[in-house]
Chains A and B, each alone.
Chain A
Amino acid sequence: EVQLVESGGGVVQPGRSLRLSCTTSGFTFGDFVMSWFRQAPGKGLEWVGFIRNKAKGETTDYAAPVKGRFTISRDDSKSIAYLEMNNLKTEDTAVYYCTRGYSSIWGQGILVAVSS
């Protein structure tokens, strides 16, 4: 069974950093793009970014609101994807989801609340 579990969320002050992890099982992690999405309170779904697999150079793309502040990485040996979030803003408050591929299978999500 394919599983994706996000961890590392919580409450953080504006300007601080946080790293989310997406621990996976049930599939060959290295074969897949891994993506991150988010949903702010009362809002719709928003793409954050993705990282391609090693065969495609592990290249990344990001949404404009997070570009330059967020970094996605991966550890194929551990089947984990990461979302490093720096200089967090209140508008980054959301439930963050990781997905296998561009959006085929989703984790349950993890809450990140940015507040002073």
Chain B
Amino acid sequence: DIQMTQSPSSLSTSVGDRVTITCQASQDISSYLNWFQHKPGKAPKLLIYDATSLETGVPSRFSGSGSGTEFTFTINSLQPEDIATYYCQQYANVPLTFGGGTKLEIK
């Protein structure tokens, strides 16, 4: 199984901050990586697919980079509605696996 190591597990941030989350795969997954936003009681929302592609309708302050084993997710100028938990997920191989999540909190 491919292990996804996501960091940090939590982050205290302020509105307007730039937020960076990293995800490391235990083996090469090319660009088969998604980034999701998950708010309590809501459906997870796909933000980035294929490591760098922005899902339709997602604000451009969200972005993704990387390939192979090292990936980065960035929120430029954090907005109050961005407070959520974020997950990376690989879909290169079965079983599909997720990072442990990054919970954003407001300072």
Contacts and interface: CB of A to CB of B under 8 A. Distances in A.
Interface residues of B, number: 21
Given A103-B34, A103-B89, A104-B49, A47 B43 contact: no
A106 B43 CA distance: 6
Given A44-B87, A45-B87, A63-B95, A105 B46 contact: yes
Nearest to B95: A63
Contacts, number: 45
Interface in A81-101: 97
A106 B37 CA distance: 12
Interface of A: 35, 44-47, 61, 63-64, 97, 102-109
Q: Which 4 A-B pairs have the closest CB atoms?
A: A106-B43, A47-B96, A45-B98, A44-B101
A103 B91 contact: yes
B46 A102 contact: no
B94 interface: yes
